[in-house]
Structure 1
Amino acid sequence: MEIDPRRLRVLLAVARAGGVLAAADLLHVTPSAVSQQLARLEREVGAALLERHPRGVTLTAEGRDLVEVAENIERELGEARRRLSARAGDLEGHVRVGGFQTFLSVVLIPGLPAWRERQPGIAIEIMEGSGDVLARELRAGDLDLAVVEYDADEAAAALPLSLREVPLLDDPWRLVVPAHSTAGEGLVAWDRLGAPWLGVDSSAAMASAAARVRRSLGDSGASVHRYGDYETALALVAAGEGVALIPSLALQRDLPEGVEIVDVPGLGARRVAVRHRTGRRALPPATDAVLAFVRELAAAAQGGVRPGESDAGTAAH
């Protein structure tokens, strides 16, 4: 079986765009040219790669396999470009990276000194913000990369064709409780926590995770207070005011006195991913290099466990 790798790029564009017409626009070619390349690729592999519907196309099992191969080739070519550019000493640029507090402070910012030694010609500018703000700035072109978070048990919102998401890690949720509460006795009965659940601002990324866990526990009691930041949540827990879900990355610091972490199976995790704009051309070499660095740092933070492979299961902020 001979497969022309150039046709895999066409299939990848169709998969990302959701149809032949949109893929043709993405590749700056005619729809007829896209259809011809797909037909030839199907003959080469001896299998149908797409299922055509009135509103677009979906990939067959064989199509999904080839798209995965195409993505691997794309990554390898990007790595080759980065290495050649680095060898030539011509990697320069200014890359703006937006994100939320825990990922920036625990994962990305501590890696900046090593980055300056590795790529002194590329400046990384850090911009902290909420999910909605980061999304707007990315679409407007004010950010090159945006690190986002959402509960991995919840279906992620569909992205526009102009954006692509690259998973980084799954960050397990942990239950934090006031020290010496009855929560440490095994949590057999959740009404014995000894403290109510803290309320979460509806705009915060962890709101859906807290609601999901409470539903799974059959908890319908009233919450107290309302927080949108983990520092506030930990301060309230330390004061004995309630219990909360906190992601593991936010607990990699000295905790306030009066806070205990309880291991509870099935809490899930938050999904952390990075998004960037797509177009007819590949990412600029400087942005591509920073993206690879962010993925490297995230893999190290999770000990090499990729999304979907976390022992904890699912999560948010």
Structure 2
Amino acid sequence: MRRYGTIAGAATALGYTASAVSQQLAGLERDTGVTLVDRGPRSAIVNAAGTEFLSAAGDVLQMLDSARARAAAAVGRISGRVVVAAIPSVAPAVAAALARLRREEPLLDIALVQSSAPRAERSLIEGVVGIAVVDDWGTRPAVVDARLSSESCFAEPIVLAAHRDVVAGAGDDWLSMLSECLPHVPLLCATEGNYSREFADGWLARRGLSPRTRWEFDGLDMLAELVALAHGVAFLPASVVRRYPATVQAALPAPSTRTVNCLRRRDADGPRSAIIRCAQTLTAELASTAGSRLF
């Protein structure tokens, strides 16, 4: 809450509902007998008493987590709470993998939140989440923050997607599709700051192409839905396009690849770490199911 400034923001980052966090906070204030958060119409600010409580409580919680992990390890189990942030396009596969792991390790407490890749990476660095499943569209330097460990799950082609009726008179290559579409239909893309948007803008700019109209939406599935309804064209991962039979795709010149990576903080390393086990499971599951109906 100190980081996000609102109960709703903190709840979303932690994988809880705002109501649940509010109730837990109220119970904590009853137990301590002091107000820990100054609440406003649109904010919740941790006050001086709350700051002192956080400082001491953090150490206690770490000791409690360590005690639980040691007890679980004594009987060959893994315990602890792990919050995973995943980009929406792979969230169903991530959820399925975590559900299977949860059945194998009943002492694990796992929460999954959906997030854009930039936001998930920031949340991981700040310690809000333990794992981030993100994508790389080749628009940033291939340098991982020294505090993070990264494992590649799978890679797939980025394609130009359009409804078959929109490109009925065009050829089956990307240049013909763009020449047919860009003067007449919108380019559908993510909002600025998203890696897929950076890819689309850079790819077109390098070829001296400019769309007549640009419509911005968040979420690759939202873009694919709009393409399938003949509202425009978009640069999308091949796995997303395959979900929509009315959509056709044209391969782009190499290298045009999206890579999905599983990130975790290096300081989570340790014997039978819950975060490490979750990260290993996600990496293996996503690699094995790439191209299946989950994608």
User: TM-score range, shorter-chain basis?
Assistant: 0.5 to 0.7
3-state SS of the aligned residue for 1:114? Answer: helix
Do the aligned partners of residues 156 and 183 (structure 1) sit closer, same or farther apart at CA in structure 2, a change above 3 Å counting? farther
Do the aligned partners of residues 252 and 242 (structure 1) sit closer, same or farther apart at CA in structure 2, a change above 3 Å counting? closer
Residues 13-69 of structure 1: per-residue CA shift (max 9 Å, x gap): xxxxxxxxxxxxxxxxxxxxxxxxxxxxxxxxxxxxxxxxxxxxxxxxxxxxxxxxx
Do the aligned partners of residues 302 and 238 (structure 1) sit closer, same or farther apart at CA in structure 2, a change above 3 Å counting? closer
Structural mapping, 1:58-207, within 5 Å: 88-105=75-92, 107-152=93-138, 154-156=140-142, 158-159=144-145, 161-180=146-165, 181=167, 182-189=169-176, 190-193=178-181, 195-207=185-197
Matched, 1:224 2:214: yes
Work out the CA distance in 1 between the residues paired with 2:85 and 2:174: 38
Work out the CA distance in 2 between the residues paired with 1:140 and 1:283: 23
After superposing on structure 2, the runs of 4+ consecutive aligned residues of structure 1 that deviate more than 6 Å are none
- Read off the aligned partner of 1:209 and give its amino acid letter: F
- Read off the aligned partner of 1:100 and give its amino acid letter: I
Work out the CA distance in 2 between the residues paired with 1:280 and 1:113: 21
Do the aligned partners of residues 183 and 237 (structure 1) sit closer, same or farther apart at CA in structure 2, a change above 3 Å counting? farther
CA RMSD of aligned residues (A): 2.9
Output the TM-score relative to the length of structure 1.
Answer: 0.59
Residues 273-315 of structure 1: per-residue CA shift (max 9 Å, x gap): 1222223953752111111101111210237xxxxxxxxxxxx
Work out the CA distance in 2 between the residues paired with 1:280 and 1:94: 12
Matched, 1:291 2:279: yes
Work out the CA distance in 2 between the residues paired with 1:147 and 1:295: 9
> 1:251 maps to which residue?
241
Asked if 1 retains the 8 angstrom alpha-carbon contact of 2:139 and 2:198, the reply is no
Residues 127-150 of structure 1: per-residue CA shift (max 9 Å, x gap): 111233323322232211111222
Identity of aligned residues (%): 20
> 1:215 maps to which residue?
205
> 1:271 maps to which residue?
259
Work out the CA distance in 2 between the residues paired with 1:232 and 1:281: 37
- Read off the aligned partner of 1:205 and give its amino acid letter: Y
Residues 137-175 of structure 1: per-residue CA shift (max 9 Å, x gap): 22232211111222135423551x322222222132122
* Structure 2: unaligned runs, 5 residues or longer: 1-71
Residues 97-117 of structure 1: per-residue CA shift (max 9 Å, x gap): 111101112x21122342233
Work out the CA distance in 2 between the residues paired with 1:140 and 1:227: 27
Work out the CA distance in 2 between the residues paired with 1:259 and 1:101: 20
- Read off the aligned partner of 2:278 and give its amino acid letter: V
Work out the CA distance in 2 between the residues paired with 1:187 and 1:128: 31
* Structure 1: unaligned runs, 5 residues or longer: 1-84, 304-317
Residues 220-256 of structure 1: per-residue CA shift (max 9 Å, x gap): 3433222222233223323433210111332353x2x
Moved more, 281-290 or 138-147: 281-290
Asked if 2 retains the 8 angstrom alpha-carbon contact of 1:183 and 1:262, the reply is no
Asked if 2 retains the 8 angstrom alpha-carbon contact of 1:174 and 1:267, the reply is no
Asked if 1 retains the 8 angstrom alpha-carbon contact of 2:164 and 2:246, the reply is yes
Work out the CA distance in 2 between the residues paired with 1:164 and 1:186: 38
